[in-house]
Structure 1
Amino acid sequence: MFLKVGELAKRSGLTVRTLHHYDAVGLLTPSARADNGYRLYDRHDVARLHLILALRGFGLSLTEIGACLDQPDIPLTSIVERQIATLDQQIEQAARLRDHLKRLRGTLMDGEEPELADWLTTLELMTMYEKYFSRDELARLPVYRNGPEAEAGWDNLVEQVRALMESGTPPEHEKARELAIRWMTMLVRDTNGDPRLAAKLNHMHENEPSLQAHIGISLALRDYVLRAFSETKMLTYEKYLSPGEIRFMRANYGKRAMEWPQLMADVRDAIDEGITPDSPQGAELARRWLDLFRSYAGDDPGTQLKFRKALENEPDLMIGTWADEALLTFVRQAMSRVVQLN
């Protein structure tokens, strides 16, 4: 059975012009043509169109789709499974919005006047995440996937930290340090332990004042938590350092703290892409890591060894970070290679 271009356009919801364009760029060439030159599409063409539209829905450009389709044995099953996962996510989002609207309806039926701004903010936040994360990333981001449940888990903690900060409690205080550890542990959990998601979440938070206002986490509050969290690390390192080394560490430890998530994200990407620690890319990542490490550990090899001993002996130093064993192993091997080359 063959479909003419007009029939395929109608059934697929595309325009004839779009199908002509797909033919022109080599994405979807019809299997046959009628005597009058009309394009005729068979079952295999329709299956290929399904792939094109699925990949386009995942955010790929036409050039990227073409490169993907040029590969032999395209796994149609995995593409369909990915579509199902995407639709499941969209259904979850729609269900959350439906719940919001039902509560709004209940408020109206009770004769109360709801705050329209609250609903506009909710809608804004739903689209805001999509500006910074791909659909696959959103499906792996618990803080987004769990919606109001995740927000509710943070509300009490944010209020406790804000109360400490506004009361003038220094971030070095024991209570601030305890809350900072809880904060960072929850953040690792709600970014699925993935530094790439954490780096993007940081970027979105810094660039979206409306998000800061909605979740109640100003940049000042975030920095307060980071200082308190840094204090927990420095107190542990101090057990291994001399007074002079401690002074240098304390003067520099938090200055470049926000660079770590992105660097760990880049290392994680390298691992997933099959880049080896002894490659030029691995060496560059190792140099960036060493540069950050030296910013607070200094250039003395003896001092640096003390920091590494602390990391070996103090497992709590890894709490609230995105560094797992695979990531650290890659970095160690890459650093060894850099040292050999130097």
Structure 2
Amino acid sequence: MTLKVGELAQRSGLTVRALHHYDQIGLLAPSARSEAGYRLYTAADVARLHAIQALRGLGVPLGEIGTLLASDGSDLPAIVARQTRALDQQIAQATALRERLALLGEVLAEGKQPDVDDWLGTLGLMSTYARYFSPDEIRRIVNGWPRVADEWQTVVPAMQRAMDEGRPPEDPEVQVLVQRWMGLMHRWMGGDFDLMSRWGEVYAKEPQTHRRDGPGLPLVRFVEQASAQRMALWEQHFTRAELSHFRMPALAQVQPLQQAVDGALAAGVPAHGPAAAALVSQWLEVLRQAAGGDGDRARRLLRAYVQVPAMRAGVRLSHEAMDFLVAAAEAAGVCAEEAPPGAGQGA
């Protein structure tokens, strides 16, 4: 069987121009001639063309195909391995892109229609985040932000004022603010300290991740100094693994206790006796919720508050309420045991 160039082009799906190019570069030349002098492709030529197309399908450059076909095939395993790696990379990139598009789709499904600048900014952020976080981590960061967005609007300006006033990181007011800051970060990232750490690195390296109303890098560095002192204090009472289970209680969880203590103070209830002990039990329940539902961690957190006044910075109860509850807890003997080492977030 012999074929003219036009016939081979039609049956192979290639163009005549492509076959002529193969001929010109010495990759595939017709090896027969008709009586009229036309150059013809033989069955062996067609078989070689199939091999060329198969190697092209693997992504092998044309310049390497001729050498490979002339060899004993020993290069083929390396070529297959190389193309497999390339394909794996393409699959990973496509998967990541699909996940980012899914995230954008979720935002649009919530009825949020960004303008062009916001849209392009979101696309840019997604690409930046993809260099540091998995698609699932990006989803957690994006979905967690609404839980803390409103409170950030008060914490960031307050911390900025403290820094501008020249207050040192160990200042009691700064420690109260940084406890709130740490609690918000904890709630935002779902208690994942590795994710929080990497977020800090991204914030430092990628200016495009900064919100217009967010903290500047000088403030972030100031917070890092203050939070290091808070963490050192918490780590005297809880392990880092335990810390991941803590959650800052919502105001709705704390307000009933605050109101109950306010009522007791107004009524002159003493810090010893059954009424005060009942309030300590109510406090312990709030702490149990803050400790991820673990009663032992809640009791240890209560003892830490009683034994170490500095631990109380940033709690959601008033100073008067905390003083009363601490006195009541001491009267009830709940702080008799020592708290083991570690770290956490409380009420």
TM bin, normalised by shorter chain, reads: 0.3 to 0.5
Q: Greater helix share, 1 or 2? A: 1
Flag the structure with larger Rg. Answer: 2
